[in-house]
Amino acid sequence: MTRVGIGIIGAGNISTQYLENLTKFADIEVRFVADVLLDRAAAQAAEYGVGASGSVEELLARDDISIVINLTIPAAHAEVDQQIIDAGKHVWSEKPIATDHESAAAVLASAASKGLRVATAPDTVLGAGIQTALRAIARGDIGEPLTATTLFHVPGPEAWHPNPDFLFAEGAGPLFDMGPYYVTTLVHAFGTASRVQAVSSKSLDRRTIASGPRAGETFPVEVPTHHAALIEFAGGQSAQSTFSFQHALPRMGFVEINGTLGTISLPDPNTFEGSSQLWRYGQEEPETLEAIGSTWGRGTGVVELARAIAEDRPERASGAVALHVLDVLLGIRDAAASGSAVDITSTVDRVPPLPEDFDPSAAVLTA
């Protein structure tokens, strides 16, 4: 087989992380970078040796591109995904898949009607760190999984991001910006979520950009900057999760899953690496589970999608998982706003862990 042709829409901050990896993978080839700012697209294409750049329309007209990566802002994800599908191409989208259930469901239905795939970030869940922990849970190292605790506490991204406004707008905030990493990990570990309860707060109505050319500029905060949630799962498990942009004491990457035989502390779900610590009842010291597998980084899920299409099997970072995760996040938002529990009506199949030898850089399709 020839290499799978890839196009990218959105040449902003996150595109650098994707391009660093995607341009090194044997099974795929980035052939076009598109952006509404043509100069920005051209600069990224030149930096990473991509042969062409230009407008979204030019990208979607290319016959040699079969998967398009959507790196636009969250509010535009569903609209751009639909454009990609209408052009007859598979979608890889940054998270979240959309900002409302109806738009996400429409995107998946449209893709299914055309025989196309939709997959989404976070693909950090496919990294060696989280996958090693998921394999440990699957083989029974902690017994029957019962409960989990996750924490994401930071002061806020305006401290480092040069254009943080969108992270405090509708469809973002810590819940929708960082929540997908943690909830996706929980769904991979526990399966379908069934009900949520939550509370929320907002510490400031305006924030000040601290770095970059806009340093000192203030912008409005449109959404809560702290959510605390109780998530119940169809299998009887539960998780307590907090997502916050209003903590002076940072606590990031905290995920613990408890079972009948022990507790496992997972690495940061916003990374692709990191060891896990396994505590068993009766043992004085934890066992360290060193990460086994790929630590390549963002873009891993694009390769896994390309191989899933070629092998006619489900992709692991699927749109169905992303829709269910979105429903959980929307449920948390609505439960906090209403003060009442919210039922989650979507369901998702359990996702099998990756084999230990999965390597996105290997020539699997092109061997």
pLDDT value at residue 2: 84
DSSP one-letter code for 165:
G
Q: Rounded CA gap, 33 and 348, in Å?
A: 33
- Domains of the chain from N-terminus onward: 122-367 (3.30.360.10)
pLDDT value at residue 170: 85
Dihedral angle, C-alpha 143, 145, 146, 147, nearest 10 °? 120
Pairing assessment for the beta strands 238-244 and 226-233 based on DSSP bridges = antiparallel
Cβ neighbours around 365 below 10 Å, total:
18
pLDDT value at residue 30: 98
Tokens for 4?
Answer: 């799978």
pLDDT value at residue 74: 86
The C-alpha angle with vertex 286 and arms to 285 and 290, in degrees rounded to 5, equals 140
pLDDT value at residue 13: 87
Distance of CA 64 to the CA centre of its chain: 27
Q: What share of the chain is helix, strand, coil (3-state, %, to 5)?
A: 35, 25, 45
Pairing assessment for the beta strands 218-220 and 226-233 based on DSSP bridges = unpaired
Q: Identify whether the C-beta of residue 225 lies closer than 8 Å to the C-beta of residue 246.
A: yes
The distance in angstroms from the start CA to the end CA of the chain is 8
Q: Rounded CA gap, 68 and 41, in Å?
A: 15
Q: Identify whether the C-beta of residue 144 lies closer than 8 Å to the C-beta of residue 259.
A: yes
pLDDT value at residue 75: 87
pLDDT value at residue 295: 96
Element (H, E) at 224: none
For each of the chain's 367 residues, which pLDDT tens digit applies?
689 999 999 999 899 999 999 999 999 999 999 999 999 999 999 999 999 999 999 999 999 999 999 999 888 999 999 999 999 999 999 999 999 999 999 999 999 999 999 999 999 999 999 999 999 999 999 999 999 999 999 999 999 999 999 899 988 899 999 999 999 999 999 999 999 999 999 999 999 999 999 999 999 999 999 999 999 999 999 999 999 999 999 999 999 999 999 999 999 999 999 999 999 998 889 999 999 999 999 999 999 999 999 999 999 999 999 999 999 999 999 999 999 999 999 999 999 999 999 999 999 998 7
Q: Which residue has the tokens 């690495």?
A: 267
Q: Rounded CA gap, 304 and 22, in Å?
A: 12
pLDDT value at residue 204: 96
